[in-house]
Chain A
Amino acid sequence: MADDLHPGHQAKEYQSPTVVPFWPEHLLKELVVGFVAVFVLVLFAHFTPVPLGARADPGDWAFQPAPDWYFYWVQNLFDVGGYYWSVLGLTSLDWILMFALPTVGVMIFIGVPFIDRHKERRLLKRPVMLAILLFGFVFFGYFTANGVYTHKTLVAAEPMAIYTSSCATCHALGPLGNQTGVFKLPDGQYIYPPPLTNVGSILTASEIRHQLVQPEGGMPQLNLPPAALKYLVGWLTTLK
């Protein structure tokens, strides 16, 4: 079946008697594999609904964003790279880190057929390509894992950061914050903010949320954004 239109069909593997036509012998079998994949997707989707968060609030200063799993490496690469870049004092040359190097990376990816000058096809006999592949595994693996770890760390640290910026002026937390137990409001009135050290064993989660949203007992309205509320309520209930 070799012809002028399809010069690839002149190769010797196409002349073997075990060659089968694409339709129906091959495609029907390949479709079985494909439908298994689609079936897996149907089942997975059935048991794993999409996680829809709270409505976007551009003023939400507390929210710690996470990308889809296959983009963690991008953010983490630029975070880690940016840190060392500034340690090296190269901040004015940010475009090299943020634009030139990624462009080189994409060009290497697109240009693989022109980088591979080896005669052999066996990967073990193509040391340059093997090195690029192993570098890729380590590179994407490290920055993805580190990105997930960094995100978890930031989410875990966020309630304490909110406490320090929004609560510590009035409330004590163990040795932290206002240790006097009294605070003078701008209008001269005195209030007595309780320590938060054991707040989780005194108030329930919904009582804590209510106090944060509609404060009572002289506590000022903090107008906390949704993410700050979510992080704070979860954290305060664990203080027992």
Chain B
Amino acid sequence: MWTRLVQWVDERLMVSPLWRDLADHPVPDHVNPSEHVKAFVYCFGGVTFLLIIAQFVTGMFLALYYVPDIINSYNSTHYIMTQVAFGSQVLAMHNWGSSLIIIMVTLHMLRIYWMGAYRKPRELNWIVGSLMMLIILGFGFTGYLLPWDEKAYFATQVGVNFVKYVPFIGNALFLAVAGGPSIGAATLSRFFAVHVLFLPAALLGLLGLHFLMIRRNGITGPY
């Protein structure tokens, strides 16, 4: 029954060659921690990916209750922390998860740098990875505003003011980022949209490229 169902779906989707390619692709022993304990350094990227998935999941559940406007963002955050079942736990995981991702992605980057793994033909994968690092910092910056407490407001004010120094377009850029002459309701809407729609879309696209390039180029040889 199960086999027939899978066959029925696969006749139409034809994913099993893709799955076989993914499942059977070889992993050399120098990156396999059960062969060499020191190969644990190769896990940092995968752990970062798993933590990113965790951020997506906890973020989806927070979005069930969070309301992005200047009255209710604070109220709904407080409500999540005090009234919602496991709300405090999920919010804390999302909050501290961002720090853990920064730590893991930095370790991952240091491993690549240390081993010189960005050599030809993997230059493009370093570029994609460094862009994802900037996107992750963007997640941190936009997410910091969303609870709309004092530190959120004033830290964002400091951060957004830096764009004024961009030559020629600085003031226009400030208006584009803040949505007005000062940090306010428009800024909150923008940061929310960027945090939950724009940045995840960009991150998923680049993650796809990142993994595709690992498959195409294979893993760098032993250090």
Contact = CB atoms under 8 A, between A and B. Distances in A.
A113 B95 CA distance: 33
A20 interface: yes
Interface of B is mostly: helix
Contacts of B97: 41, 45
Interface in A118-175: 118, 120-123, 126, 129, 133
B15 interface: no
Interface in B15-32: 21-30, 32
B140 A70 contact: yes
B116 interface: yes
B127 interface: yes
Interface in A5-29: 5-9, 11-14, 16, 18-26, 29
Interface stretch (B1-9, B192-200, B202-210, B215-223): B215-223
B148 interface: yes
B61 interface: no
Contact of B134 (A13, A45, A106): A106
Contacts of B219: 8, 13
Given A19-B26, A55-B148, A226-B150, A13 B222 contact: yes
Interface string B60-90: 0000000000100010011001000000110
Interface in B88-109: 88-89, 91-93, 95-100, 102, 104
B131 A1 contact: no
A58 B153 contact: yes
A22 B23 CA distance: 5
A121 B223 CA distance: 7
Contacts of B184: 58
Interface in A211-236: 226-227
A6 B216 contact: yes
A66 B151 contact: yes
B165 A46 contact: no
B26 A33 contact: no
A56 B144 contact: no
Nearest to B188: A56
B46 A30 contact: yes
A133 B113 contact: yes
A121 B22 CA distance: 29
Contacts of B92: 44-46, 48-50
Given A1-B26, A21-B27, A41-B96, A129 B113 contact: yes
Contacts of B218: 6-9, 11, 14
Contacts of A18: 28-29, 32, 35
A181 B123 CA distance: 73
Contacts of B23: 21-24
Given A44-B96, A109-B130, A133-B113, A14 B28 contact: yes
Contacts of B50: 31, 34-35, 37-38
A63 interface: yes
Nearest to B115: A121
A13 B158 contact: no
B212 to A, nearest CB: 10
A69 to B, nearest CB: 7
Contacts of A55: 74, 148-150
Interface stretch (A94-102, A184-192, A201-209): A94-102
Contact of A65 (B95, B96, B102, B154): B154
B150 A1 contact: no
11 contacts: A13-B221, A14-B26, A29-B32, A33-B46, A45-B93, A50-B81, A110-B130, A112-B126, A112-B130, A113-B127, A129-B116
